[in-house]
Structure 1
Amino acid sequence: MRKPLNSTTDGWLCGLAGVLIFSGSLPATRVAVLGLAPLFVTGARAAIAGALAALLLALFRAARPERGEIVPLIVVALGVVVGFPLLTALALRHVSSAHAIVFIGLLPLATAIFGVLRAGERPQPAFWIFSALGSAAVVAFAVRHGVDASPIGDALMLGAIVVCGLGYAEGARLSRRLGGWQVICWALVISLPVMVPLAWWTQPAAFDTVSAAAWWGLAYVSLFSMLIGFVFWYRGLALGGIAGVGQLQLLQPFFGFVLAALVLHETVPPEMIGATAAVIACVAGARRFGRASPVAAVVPRA
């Protein structure tokens, strides 16, 4: 018999593993779209991950979603399989990955809001104060350094954050019944009828003209960002609470900046580091003074 899900250290560790994996998403996407069309990257990553997901579901004979779970799974697919990858791929045509990573600081607040709206969580008032302060630090940085430079890129990133927060919260809510890896796998399979034709129609005219780096970037976002990372992330959100574990996303800009500097040789100005330090301090305060209410124990279906 499976152990009931509850708020434990395991949830935070799984969440941290997911954040570490996701930290490479924007740098890898940036590398991929330098040699491949954003629409192709979006379709191909979902098609590759979807094929692997279908194989996993068949091998483990996963239970099929119930009728009432189909619409929520479609919401997850629209948010994290289609919306976030597409909007970030388009945004990275206008801004650097280091710049885009700063917007990830808004994800904890977006995820927490949708956690309240969709999962019924009720964090304490202090939680919202620190979350809002952290988000304000990110927005202040974006207004000062990004909006004037590329309004289109920043608007696309803001849209990506909204749809991703919804997809995270909806997926975490479903994970308490279906299980984390089953949720992302079913969402990917649902997306296949759209994403496979998209990848086919937008494929490059000549594959041999695409750099190896672009293919490696596509491989990373297909295998890790689109599938493996979500296995850890949804489990972490389901075990530790959407609002609470979601605050770990404020560590993602820091890890992402390091990767952007090491892999892409992008310059990370002191202001970016300062903004990241501010939001990390805010999430620390949110954890100390605004702990979310505990998550009800449930057992995922076999």
Structure 2
Amino acid sequence: MTAQNSATASRTIAVTGPTGSTATAVSTATGASTGTGASAGPDASSTATARTATDPLPRGTLLAGLGVVAFSLTFPSTVWGLESFGPWSLVAVRSTLAALIAGAFLLVGSVPLPERRHWAGLAVVAGGVVIGFPLLTTLALQTSTTSHAAVVVGLLPLTTAAFAAVRTGRRPSRTFWFAAVSGAVVVIAFTLQQSGGAVSQGDLYLFGALLVCAAGYTEGGRLARLMPGWQVIGWALVLCLPLMAVGSAVALSMEPVHLNAHGVIGLAWVAAGSTFFGLYVWYRGMAAIGIPKASQLQLAQPLLTLFWSVFLLDESLPLAAPLAAVAVLVCIAVTQRAKS
């Protein structure tokens, strides 16, 4: 008697967000084979081998790399946007446009509404990632250089990891905490050296941005275990749409607008490139290549921002900036090894 057997293989992939938040994606592949008994037979083994051989590692690396490049352009694009818009207008219009793009993707994909129990977490993501971080960094970039901000915000992965440890109750190793504290000391020393021994208002904005964004990404990492990461940021954007639409109208009526090419390009990139496209390709790339390889790509982000600050903004780069950025990257690399 011939029986139709089904061979099902499941694979769990750990996914981390651009600042260290972690999610889990599960993919299941099912193949049918015909034979006798309970064994799936050699056909299933051949199918699994063929699937492994065609895993999209180069494509995943490309997608994750595009995400890193998109994030590295955020600060230079914000500076360009400030040439045409006031800080409040730029943030409100940026979030409104990004929310409209996200809403269109969710609508076309017929993505169902999140469960009611997830809305509080989405509000935390929205407050930290969609509103808090863009607003505070935009205010900081009115007085701070892009290179200065890149070094300070380079501490974000460590800040997020610390928030995640507190939120989840995990106990990272002493090596992890030593590297995290060392990175914080490097950034604080850099800000004091660059600000003449005192913390400037721009630095306060940047440190505040670190805290709210780390909280948002930590909560986003928790939610990304329950839904695709791009849907987390998509619904967080949509949640902010009514507030940001009203905010755009009010801010545009109060702040002068002087449109030029830089301003329009900057606004378009922070809305479509950094806020939506970057996160979308990042999460898809992470699902393909996993944590270790993507983490190594992420280490290039602060240095890329330093490059853009010189190439696009003609900023003079103090020697302390790349040195501090490299020191922070070393600390991040140590925490990655310690966590694994």
What's the TM-score once normalised by structure 2's chain length? 0.76
Matches within 5 A, 1:130-279: 130-146=179-195, 148=197, 151-203=200-252, 209-234=258-283, 250-279=299-328
In the alignment, is the contact (CA less than 8 A) between 1:111 and 1:169 conserved in 2?
A: yes
- The change in CA–CA distance for 1:208 and 1:100 in structure 2 (over 3 A counts) is closer
CA distance in 1, matches of 2:246, 2:150: 30
- Counterpart residue number, 1:126: 175
Deviation of 1:19 (Å): 2.7
What's the TM-score once normalised by structure 1's chain length? 0.85
- TM-superposition CA deviations, 1:140-182 (whole Å, max 9, x none): 1111113657611000010001111111111121111111111
Runs of 5+ consecutive residues of structure 1 not aligned to the other structure: 293-302
CA distance in 2, matches of 1:175, 1:124: 24
RMSD across aligned positions (CA): 2.9
Deviation of 1:117 (Å): 2.6
- Among 57, 62, 87, the alignment partner of 2:106 is 57
- Counterpart residue number, 1:18: 67
CA distance in 2, matches of 1:119, 1:90: 31
SS of 2:142's equivalent?
coil
SS of 1:6's equivalent?
strand
In the alignment, is the contact (CA less than 8 A) between 1:112 and 1:246 conserved in 2?
A: no
- The change in CA–CA distance for 1:182 and 1:79 in structure 2 (over 3 A counts) is same
In the alignment, is the contact (CA less than 8 A) between 1:175 and 1:234 conserved in 2?
A: no
CA distance in 2, matches of 1:246, 1:163: 22
- The change in CA–CA distance for 1:115 and 1:41 in structure 2 (over 3 A counts) is same
**Paired residue total:** 289
In the alignment, is the contact (CA less than 8 A) between 2:85 and 2:256 conserved in 1?
A: no
Paired AA for residue 115 in structure 1: A
CA distance in 2, matches of 1:235, 1:35: 33
**Overall identity of the aligned pairs, in %:** 37
- TM-superposition CA deviations, 1:5-25 (whole Å, max 9, x none): 423797x94655433211100
CA distance in 1, matches of 2:306, 2:106: 35
Max Rg structure: 2
- Counterpart residue number, 2:24: none
- Among 110, 116, 134, the alignment partner of 1:85 is 134
Deviation of 1:63 (Å): 2.2
